[in-house]
Each structure stands twice: as C-alpha cells, then as structure tokens.
Amino acid sequence: MNSKEFFAEVAARAELTPKEAQTMASTLALTIADNLNEGDSFSVQGFGNFEVKKKMERIMVNPTTKQRHLVPPKLAISFKMSNVLKDKLQQP
Amino acid sequence: MSRKILPAELVEIIARNEGITKKKSEAFMRAFFEVVEEGLRTDSFVKIKGFGTFKLVNVSERESVNISTGERFQISGHTKVSFLPDTAFKDLINRPFSHFETILIPDSTTQEELDAISEAPIEEAEEAPEAPEVVEVISESVATTTSSVTLESNTETPVFPNIAQTSEEDNVEETPIHLEEKEVESTEESLIEDVKIESLQSHETTLEATEVTEISPNNTMTPTPVEDTATIPQQPLEETVPTTECQQQLHISSTPIDSTENEMNSTDNNNKSKNSRTLMWGILWIISLIIAYLAGYHRIIPLDADFHNEEVTEVNVASVSTDTLQVATDTLATATDTLTTSSPINLLPAGADTLSVIRGIDKATAEKLAQGQPQVKVGSFLIIGTFRKHTMRSGDTLFKLARSVYGHKDYVKYIILYNQFPNPDNVYIGTEILLPQLVEKEECAG
C-alpha cells in the first residue's frame, strides 16, 4: 500500500479529504517529535509503541578507504509492535 | 525521565494546531492506525509520506535454551512489523542534535588519544607543577657545589635564606606563566639576582678583615665545583650564569676607582651575556684567576688599607653566595622572620614582589658603593602616601624621575618599592607611576 492509497483510505474513514489526511499525518509526525524527548514513548493501544532512543557517538570505519569517522550522537525513533497486533497478523 | 504518551494527548494537540474539532482529530488518529494495520495485512507494507514505512518482516524460527531449566526449545517463525521513519520524520526527531556532523578522524590519531578526549581538562593541569621541580633540581645541584666555607660567619647566614627563598618563590610564580622553555631563563635570572643581592647585602654588614683572610683561599675553590656539576645535561645554562655573575662582582671590586663605569658595564653585560655568554665566560675566567691570585696575595700581606679590605670582602661574598644558596634551600621555613631584618624597610610584601624590592635596594646601594657615599639614606624614610602621579614618556627613567622629584637618584628604590613593578629595569612607556610621599623616620617617630 503506497502513500496515495493509504491517505485515500484514511480520508474515507475519518471523513476528510486525502489532502487533509496528508497534512494531518505530517502534523502527527511533528507533534510526536515535539512531545517526545529522549526516552519518551508514544504507545498506541492495539498497535505498538514508538520510542525515542539516543544513539551514542561512535567511531565508524569506512571499509574500503579505511578512513575513520566520528559519528555524532543522535536521536532516533524506534517502533515495537504490540502483542495484540502480532496475534492479529499471525492469523491468516 | 521516560514518559509514556497516549494517543489522547496527541489528539488534543493536533486538534489545536490544525484548527479542527477534537472529534475529527480523534477519528483521524484511529483511522490512521487501523489503515496501517489493514495495509500490512493486505500488502505487507505501508508507505506514508512524511511519516515512514511500516513493513512486515519474517522472522525465521530459531532454537533457544531455557535459562532456568537448560531445556532446548524452538521459537517458531513469525512476522514482525518494522518501522522505518522517512527522512523528514527522522530529522524532526533528531532536531536537538542536528548541529552535529560526522568528523573524519586523521590517521595519526591513536586509540589512546581518542580515549583521552574525555579526560582532556586534566592534562592541562598537569603541566603547571613542573616548575617547582626545576627549582628543586637547581637547588640540589647548588647544594652539591658547597665548599668548606659553609657557615663561616654566623651573623650573615640568617639573612641569606630569605633572599634565596624569594628567588624560589619568584621561580614558582613566574614559570607557570611563561612556557616551559622560558623556565630556564627565569631561573637564570633569579640566580643572578641572588648572587648580586647577597654580595651587596653582605657588603653592608661588612665582614671582619680577619675572617676574610681565612675565607679568601676558598674563593678559588668555589667556582670550579660549580662547573663540575654542569655535566648534568639540564643544568649547564643555570650553572654557568651564576658563576659568571660572581666573577663580574669580583671584577668590579678589583677596580673600585672607575667603578661607576664598571657598574654600568656589568648591568649591560647581564643582558648581553645571554647572547654572547661563551665570549664573556672566557674573559671573566681569566679575570677571576687574577683576582684569585690577588686574594692569595692579600692573605700573605696583612690587611691595612680600606681599599683592600673592601675588595676582599667582595671576593669572599662571591664564595659565600654559592654556599648560601644551599643553606637557603635547607632553611626555607625560617626565612620569613629574617625578611624584615634583611632590608630596613618594613613595607615588604610577600612573594615575588619582595624580589623587586630587594632588587631596587640592591641597585641603589650599588650606586652608592660606586660613588663611595655613606649609606645614610637607606631605609631612613617611610612612605606615607602618594605624592603625585607620573606617566612614563619616551626617555624617562626611574633614576631621572627620582632625581628630579626627590633630588637624588637613590630615592628610586622608594619609587620601585611603592609601585611594585614586575621588572623595574623595564618600565614601559605610558605606565602610570605613583610617586610616594616620604617622611624621615626620626621625624615620624618624633
């Protein structure tokens, strides 16, 4: 399911236009980013858990050139699905 | 720290930001995740622009061991949902750290250096304590040069430790400021000052002529041990300078008739000797040999003339000075008491400043010696306040200033004392100088 199909489907269910759905999706992303600090999580029942994790700085070696790079620390979002979703998807 | 946010909170925020009803926002939120779930079930992947991609990933079955029982069991293969945020969302999340960039580490950097990055501030602090070590080394080396003359005259020895102490303090305070290379120079200077001061101080107290005859033969001995210790690699510079200085003193004393000129020359030589030390070294060594011969000569012939008397005391002083350096390092603790006795002025501050004060007196007394004047003016005045201010112009000297304001250049020591110059020999143009108000001591007491 690509983006177009997805927004069309969401729009149909939430009684919005696809365009509205798209802007709201990006607003959702923005609010998640705004409200989640390091270590915070956003859990959707029956779906899963979004968590902001801090990745520490590390030294990376380019395998071909053997150059070493210092990779700075960063924040990344991770997702873990809930068991409910797991069971649902397991059923054919 | 970690907080769990529920969809209800975000629904409210979205509703506020988008200007839509809460109900609409909630409906969107529910629809959003429902559609994701359905999309995963139908297509096994959902791509959302501005958010990310949900994908179903197959996890193959694997074997594992029950930790408590040690039993082997199979974990059945299943599918899990992976979420890859798209670049826009990723950047939004990483906003707090977005100013960081990946740095290419140079090849020369070793692993140890990388480990030490976090401990960098400690490394800086470690450089400073090296200065006192240098001082210790010097004092030890000087201690080894001590000849048999140690503590020949009991009246004088208490005076010297205090001078040496100030020089040491001077070292400690100066060296952290300069770079490590300059440490050697500063120690040199302080040693020069030591020798100078000691010789003049002892001249003030004037040794007995009989003592002089006993000590003078040892004078020939003292310069040579100093040379011997110079074999230690670090110290040649520090060692040679004091000895040359000794000999300069000797040189002056041997020709007291035109001593005014010599005085000037010797101070000039101080500066030049850093550059052309080897040349000076040779000349002065010959002169010292001559003086050593003269000293021996005077021992045979009884001392009657004042001229000779003075000369030999100077010689003696040079020999004592090297000893007292050693004495000084031993008796640092007692030094503060003798501080006041060593110089007649009571306004002595502690530390490196005393050095400049003593240096000032030293210069003034040296002038007097050169002129053959009695040392009446030394310490007979008290500073009671600021007389007026003067800004240094081109061509001004402290001596000229003292002469114009107080009528005699000897008053320069009060100016130096009052202003606490870091280096009274080098006062910069534009420096504001406070001229002290002086009152005679007797007058003050009366």
Q: A24 in helix, strand or coil?
A: helix
Q: Hey, what CATH topology would domain B7-95 get?
A: HU Protein; Chain A (4.10.520)
Nearest CA in chain B to A73: B97
Give yes or no for A19 touching B (CB within 8 A): no
Structural domain spans, chain B:
7-95, 131-342, 361-445
Q: Residues A7, A44: one domain?
A: no
pLDDT in tens, B313-371: 444 544 444 444 444 444 444 444 444 344 444 444 444 444 444 444 444 544 444 44
Dmax (CA) of chain B: 125
Q: Other CB atoms closer than 10 Å to residue B377's CB: what's the count?
A: 18
Q: Is residue B4 scored above 50 in pLDDT?
A: yes
Looking up residue A76, the CATH number of its domain turns out to be 4.10.520.10
Can you list the positions of beta strands (E) in B287-359? none
Q: Residues A45, A87: one domain?
A: yes
pLDDT in tens, A37-67: 888 888 888 888 888 888 888 888 888 988 8
DSSP, residue by residue, B204-240: HH---HHHHHHHHHHHTTTHHHHHHHTTSTT-HHHHH
Q: Residues A21, A47: one domain?
A: no
Share of residues in chain B with pLDDT > 70 (%) = 42
Q: Which residue has the higher pLDDT, B2 or B308?
A: B2
Query: Please, what is the average pLDDT of chain B?
Result: 61
Q: Residues A12, A56: one domain?
A: no
Beta bridge partners of B54: B46, B83
Q: Is residue B101 scored above 50 in pLDDT?
A: yes
Q: Residues A31, A43: one domain?
A: no
Q: Residues A46, A82: one domain?
A: yes
- Region B92-105 average pLDDT: 82
Q: Residues A30, A51: one domain?
A: no
pLDDT in tens, A76-91: 888 888 888 888 887 7
Q: Residues A53, A81: one domain?
A: yes
Both tokens assigned to B391:
């800004």
Q: Which residues of B touch A50 (CB under 8 A)?
A: 83
Domain count, chain A: 2
Phi-psi region of B367 (alpha: psi -120 to 50; beta: other; left: phi over 0): alpha
Give the span between the Cα atoms of B210 and B168, in whole angstroms.
33
Nearest CA in chain A to B23: A14
Handedness of CA B185, B189, B195, B198 (dihedral sign): negative
Give the span between the Cα atoms of A11 and B24, in whole angstroms.
11
pLDDT in tens, B124-172: 444 444 444 444 444 444 444 444 333 444 444 444 444 444 444 444 4
Q: Residues A89, A75: one domain?
A: yes
Q: Residues A56, A86: one domain?
A: yes
Q: Which domain holds residue A19?
A: 1-35
Evaluate whether B193 touches B141 at the Cβ level (below 8 Å). Answer: no
Best to test chain B binding among A38, A55, A70, A71 (most B CBs inside 10 Å): A70
Q: Residues A14, A25: one domain?
A: yes
Q: Is residue B223 scored above 70 in pLDDT?
A: no
Q: Residues A70, A90: one domain?
A: yes
Question: Is CATH 3.10.350.10 correct for B361-445?
Answer: yes
- Displacement of CA B176 from its chain's centroid (Å): 3
Q: Which residues of B touch A38 (CB under 8 A)?
A: 1
Evaluate whether B163 touches B194 at the Cβ level (below 8 Å). Answer: yes
Q: Which residues of A touch B38 (CB under 8 A)?
A: 9
